[in-house]
Amino acid sequence: MSDNKQDASGGESCCSCSLDPSRRVLLAATAGVGAVIGAGVAVPFVTSFIEPSERAKAAGAPVEADLSKIKPGEMITVEWQGKPVWILRRTPEMIAALQKNETALADPASERAEQPEYVKGAGRAIKDEFFVCLGVCTHLGCTPNSKFVLGAESGMGQDWAGGFLCPCHGSQFDLAGRVFKSMPAPTNLKIPKHTYLSDTRLLIGKDSGEA
């Protein structure tokens, strides 16, 4: 059966045109709602495709660390850009021990570009008490082990004043991440940009002058 009907002039008219006014209004309203719903469903998919996820944003964003929970002589690890960042709270004895290594180090004054300008020097830190560095050996990227015990008990020799040992190829670093001479690692451990937000809050990944 045909859905078209002849009008008075003998021509054909579509079914919707022959509907009474109230039904045409209802159809128009229904079609409008369907269009709005369709648009509403499409928007979230477009937004999620364009906007990066929170994980993606965090991958390169600065991270904040709470220093108040680190006891003297302890070290914590914070992840930044997928890499471990060490924060070591050095004791006065640890800081004094840095001077003992000067002649045995490959770059005692940290003159090479493994750190921002503001952390050069023997302690390689903004504040001597807190040492911040990437926990990644500069040889082939292994993670060194902490060797904070002094002397023969450390297994590193009678003169060991504390530091780090890479388990992969034996590179040794002092408590400021400075590499000893004749080691596979070519440079000192790298230090990321960082700044203090307060006495107990450290921001890793941004300099103090950055917006």
Judge contact between 202 and 194, C-beta under 8 A.
yes
Alpha helices in the chain (DSSP H): 21-50, 54-60, 92-97
Distant-in-sequence, close-in-space partners of 76: CB < 8 Å, separation ≥ 6: 65, 69, 70, 86, 87
Q: Which of 24, 169, 181, 201 is catalytic?
A: 169
**Nearest to 84, CA basis, from 120, 128, 132, 149:** 132
Residue 174, classed as helix, strand or coil, is: strand
Judge contact between 124 and 77, C-beta under 8 A.
no
- Please report where in the chains the tokens 């960082």 appear, as a residue: 194
- Helix, strand, coil percentages for the chain (3-state, nearest 5): 30, 20, 50
Active site (annotated) includes residue 169: yes
Active site residues: 169
